[in-house]
Amino acid sequence: MTPEELQSIALKKHEENGKFKHCLHVCVGSGCCSSQADQVLKNLTDGVKKGGVDKDVRVIGVGCMGLCANGPMVSVDDNQPLYQHIKPTDAPTILNALDKAPPDEMVCDTDQPFFKRQMQVVRENSGRVDPEDISDCIAHGAYASLAKALTTMSPGDVIQEVTKSGLRGRGGAGYPTGLKWSTVAKASGPDGRGQKYVVCNGDEGDPGAFMDRSVMEGDPHRVLEGMCIAGYAVGASKGIVYVRAEYPLAVKRLNKAINQAVRNEILGRNILGTNFNFDLEIRLGAGAFVCGEETALIASIEGNRGTPRPRPPYPANSGLFDCPTLINNVETFANIPPIIARGSSWFANIGTEKSKGTKIFALTGKVKNTGLIEVPMGITLREIIYDIGGGIPDGKAFKAVQTGGPSGGCLTEKELDIPVDYESLAKAGSIMGSGGMIVMDETSNMVDVARFFMEFCMSESCGKCIPCRVGTCQMHALLDKIYNRKATPGDLALLRELCDMVKATSLCGLGQTAPNPVLSTLKHFENEYLERIQTSGATNAHGPSAHNGHEVNA
């Protein structure tokens, strides 16, 4: 296929879409599908056929629209109107109301801050395009950036553009993407053949996080396009999308997208009439959180046990099969097409001085509007929780928000006005992380929160290094003891000591960050720990006090 053919596909599809009077978008993301959205889609499709209006009304399944709390969502045309809480039996009502005033009780207000305060860059097409139809995606601009990069830019230009955009890794650590790309571009393989790889990290595993899933489900071609552009920039001819097997829908749509792209000669040999070759395949993760760590992920792709190894060498120099390997997160790759299409200065205008662009967060927990949001960097946590999130439900008071999942920390009322960017969050004692954001109200017990995340780290530790393998287990036992009011002041001191030791000596990020939830809850809510600690009989630090069975009312 040539860039001209790509354009003609887009035009033809536009023309086709234009013939319909209405288009119904049904969210068929994992969240809405769990509330029968797939049945809604089927009933609407059948209803249109039965009513004989299938020449006028187009019904498509689309990706996540964000407001998961009110799903399943159905959008008529461009949110005129947007329906919420749709059941399969509502299909006739929706079809009957197409040219009339929609029934008020089913309509979702799109003027509310949840929609108005967001800024869609990565998710601009999610909820609008049919992820399973490549021509619909092309009509909405997919692969135009790839064509632009391949035909008008050199690999060096692409890296320059990404560097100038200021994009940083969306996996959590915030490493400058352009710098990573240029490192891989300069590295040479072990055998001089120059084989390099591009790997997309889709092993999203933080509890309560589903940003990458929705991007892969809602707009898979954007991820493939980003990887393809990366391959061109760093000189790689092979890409691998590593997705956890717990995301069957994402895997299905990615597979379909890859097949369609190959059939349309957008992937493979001589892409878009140039001499650039790029093949993509999917590898499934078998359910290990640690495989989100890049060296463990590489071991897993190679067919080995998913355990991390000491760095350096970094994957940029010696990664998959010892070849230079570019590993970026799903959201990072999904940011590439808009940067190439609209230019680095447009992107660099969004966000703060050091954190550019937007960030997707999975807003969950004790907040009214749970769902997926994309906001410009620099927005405050207060705006996210109270304006976009709609505040805390049931008249309860806000207590804390956990960012960064099990590697992050909690932030309290005092920190709500700090801007959301990599540096500010780190300074406040948490991290940006991959985008999980769990809001807690006054009913949450922070010792329990710390214990929950420690249990997660304990069961996800690979067991390779001693501090993480034994340390997380010991810390979990101590937290459990504290929560059950059986601990002594000595136990708390030991917990602090282990936090410091595990953080300093663990092999990979999992162990190094596992103590963070404990440290941050200890920092902000030490009283909740202290009130559960026995003050009498403190001499017997570890032994019988756990078993003597008497409860102390603190």
Binding site for other proteins (CB under 8 A): 288, 290, 305, 309-310, 312, 458-474, 477, 494, 497-498, 501, 504-507, 542
Using the Cα atoms of residue 397, residue 520, residue 327 and residue 422 in order, give the sign of their dihedral. positive
Q: For the chain, how many helices (H) and strands (E)?
A: 23, 14
Strand-pairing partners, residue 61, are 26
Q: How far is the CB of 467 from other proteins (least distance, A)?
A: 6
- Residue located via tokens 């917990």: 495
Phi first, then psi: give them for residue 176, nearest 5 degrees.
-60, 120
Of 21 and 309, which has the nearer Cβ to other proteins? 309
Q: How far is the CB of 525 from other proteins (least distance, A)?
A: 24
CA of 87: how far to CAs of 66, 91, 107, 281, in Å?
A: 18, 8, 13, 36
Of 79 and 505, which has the nearer Cβ to other proteins? 505
Q: How far is the CB of 266 from other proteins (least distance, A)?
A: 39
Residue 447 contacts by C-beta under 8 Å, 6 or more apart in sequence? 479, 482, 483, 521, 528, 529, 532
Of 397 and 466, which has the nearer Cβ to other proteins? 466
Angle between helices 330-342 and 220-234 (to 10 degrees): 80
Our CA angle for 11, 16, 19, nearest 5°, is: 125
Range list of β-strands (E), 357-454: 358-365, 371-376, 398-403, 409-412, 436-441
In eight-state DSSP terms, residue 83 is E
Long-range contacts of 312-316 (CB under 8 A, 24+ apart): 314/183, 315/199, 316/180, 316/183, 316/184, 316/187
In eight-state DSSP terms, residue 169 is -
Q: How far is the CB of 307 from other proteins (least distance, A)?
A: 8
Of 461 and 516, which has the nearer Cβ to other proteins? 461
* Residue 310: Cβ-neighbour burial (10 angstroms; 0-12, 13-18, 19+): exposed
Q: How many CB atoms lie within 10 A of CB 285?
A: 24
Of 66 and 172, which has the nearer Cβ to other proteins? 172
In eight-state DSSP terms, residue 471 is H
Q: How far is the CB of 153 from other proteins (least distance, A)?
A: 32
Of 11 and 245, which has the nearer Cβ to other proteins? 245
Q: How far is the CB of 195 from other proteins (least distance, A)?
A: 22
Of 165 and 472, which has the nearer Cβ to other proteins? 472
What is the rounded distance in angstroms from the CA atom of residue 453 to the CA atom of residue 410? 12
Of 438, 409, 417, nearest to 522 by C-alpha is 409
Q: How far is the CB of 247 from other proteins (least distance, A)?
A: 20
Of 424 and 461, which has the nearer Cβ to other proteins? 461
Helix (H, G, I), strand (E, B) or coil at 523: helix
Q: How far is the CB of 422 from other proteins (least distance, A)?
A: 18
What is the rounded distance in angstroms from the CA atom of residue 197 to the CA atom of residue 321? 9
What is the rounded distance in angstroms from the CA atom of residue 331 to the CA atom of residue 359? 9
Q: How far is the CB of 47 from other proteins (least distance, A)?
A: 49
Q: How many CB atoms lie within 10 A of CB 433?
A: 27
CA of 494: how far to CAs of 473, 485, 501, 503, in Å?
A: 13, 16, 10, 14
Q: How far is the CB of 283 from other proteins (least distance, A)?
A: 19
Q: How far is the CB of 476 from other proteins (least distance, A)?
A: 9
Of 204 and 460, which has the nearer Cβ to other proteins? 460
Of 301 and 334, which has the nearer Cβ to other proteins? 301
Of 277 and 474, which has the nearer Cβ to other proteins? 474
The amino acid that residue 464 corresponds to is K
Q: How far is the CB of 547 from other proteins (least distance, A)?
A: 12
Of 270 and 459, which has the nearer Cβ to other proteins? 459
